[in-house]
Structures are given as structure tokens and as C-alpha cells.
Amino acid sequence: MGRLSVDLCGLSLDNPVIPASGTFGYGYEFAELYDINLLGTFSFKGTTREPRFGNPTPRIAECTSGMINAVGLQNPGVEKVISQELPRLKACFHKPVMANVSGFSVEEYAYTCAALDREPQVGWLEVNVSCPNVHGGGMSFGTDPKAAAEVTRAVKAVTTKPVILKLSPNVTDIVAIAQACEEAGADGISLINTLLGMRIDLKTKRPVIANTMGGFSGPAIFPVALRMVYQVSRAVKIPVVGMGGVASAEDVIEMMLAGATAVEIGAENLVNPYACRDIIQALPEVMDRYHISTLKEIIGGAH
């Protein structure tokens, strides 16, 4: 075990750096650029029971220090993910992978998680109850402690692998929702997903995104994410995976000091496809600069 290694829900990671779902595809796209096995793991594209085409275009809007997206969980559905995407992923990534799951009913979450739980390469199930882009689904589960707990219990009842609930920041009290998930049996919490935002085109005087609103991500949201990771990690005993605007090795260390066991990098992958590789390579030098011998020792160090 090296200086960078951490333990996430009983599985060892060579380092805490995890590309976030929706920004890294199924891995093989990035494997053409560098050896993705240097990653701790990665969270593959959000998967639903049935195929989804996603939201109408345009789906992306640029912002100062960030972006807004309303892709709408476009994916081929869990059966094709298992039969087509995972074999391609396995050929280029030789570690356990994190499966990201979304749903529009408790039953859908349970069905999709049960199917992915049977796949040998899946190490963790990251259950997204927080996507703000899809009407009638995701976000409603993540904004109510009882609903989030119901999803947690349903998924835990049909799975054997660690279940990590991914929470929305678009709530008044994220701590109460995290605690409800923990009490319902969650093995970990990941946060934050995107904030809800929009842009207006001054020429057309209409919203830039066809869906009007979308998920705001990028460096601009880092302080909000850091605050929520700090609050939740103090309130629960299970591991926290921190994300939201992380763009450097220094950001990773700051997230871990706030209480994160592992750290996901999202929008930065879309700006620089080598971002996660560069962050991992930079971590030892940054650790030396701040007199950190191992990353395990700093988790929650700012509390």
C-alpha cells in the first residue's frame, strides 16, 4: 500500500482519484489517451433500466468557471450496458469499477442495481438520487429523507456490494438526507451532484438550454461542495466521496481534509481529458509541500 492509497467501503484504491459519472463514458474512450488503470477507479455513465435518448439539444451552456449541462441521462439501458459496454470496459480497465444508477421509481432502482450487482467487475453501486435534469425522476427522491431512505433500503435488499448514495445539493438540509440514507443501510455517501442553473441568450432572449435549466458544475461550485462534504462527513459514520468543482491535486487534499475518503473529478475531464492523470501525478509533490506522509491520515483533518 502506497502513500496515496485509501479504503472505500472495504475495497482498496491505489489513490482516491475517481472520474465522475457522465464525464468519463465507459472508460475505453479515455483509454485511447492514457492508461486508465492508474486511476483509483471511475464511475461509469449513469445507467437506467430502459434506454434513454436524453433531453433535446442544445444541452450545454458555458459559464464563468463552469458549465451547465442537461444531457438527461442518455444511455443504452442496463441490459446493453451489461452485454456491450462492460466487456469493452473490461478489456482496458482491470480494477473494480463504480456503477452509477438512476431511476424513476423505487422498483427501477432496485432492478437496475440488482442486474449490475451480478457483474464481477462492478465494485460499488453509486445510486444517483440527485440528477436535476430529468423530469419526474431523480431529483424528487434526493430532496426528501424518507424517499432517499426508501430507495436505499430497496437497493440494499437486492445487492451484496457496497451501495453509495449520490446526493443533490439542491436541498435545504443535506445532512438530514445523508443521515436517513445511513440509517437505511447505505455503505457510503457521495456528494455533491450539480447545482441547478440556467443561462439566457441575449440575442434570442431565450434560455440557452432547450431544457431551460440544467446542472451547474465546474470550479465555481467547489466552495459549496466542500462545505457540504464537511457537514455530512461530520454527521455520518460511513465514508464520504467528495466532488464538485475539483480541478487540482490541492483541491483533492482540501476535499479529504473536509472529510472525503475519495474524490471524484467531473467537469474538469471535459476541459482537460488528462485531468485525472495529471492530478494523480501531482499529488506526491503537493503532499510533500504540505508535510503529508499519507492521504489516509488527513481524512477529516479539518474537523
Torsion of CA 207, 213, 217, 218, to 10 degrees: 10
Catalytic residue among 113, 131, 181, 276: 131
d(CA 170, CA 167): 9
Contact 211, 56 (CB under 8 A): yes
Q: What angle do CA 213, 196, 206 make, to 5 degrees?
A: 25
b (16+ CB within 10 A) / e for 35-57: ebeebbbbbbbbbbbeebeebee
d(CA 273, CA 174): 31
Element (H, E) at 188: strand 188-191
- Is the Cα torsion angle 119, 125, 126, 130 positive or negative in sign? positive
Per the annotation, the verdict on 131 as an active-site residue is yes
d(CA 45, CA 75): 7
Torsion of CA 40, 45, 46, 49, to 10 degrees: -120
Contact 74, 53 (CB under 8 A): yes
Task: Please give the full DSSP string across 281-295, using - where no structure is assigned.
Answer: HHHHHHHHHTT-S-S
How far from the centroid of its chain's Cα atoms is residue 44's Cα?
A: 9
d(CA 116, CA 121): 9
Active site residues: 131
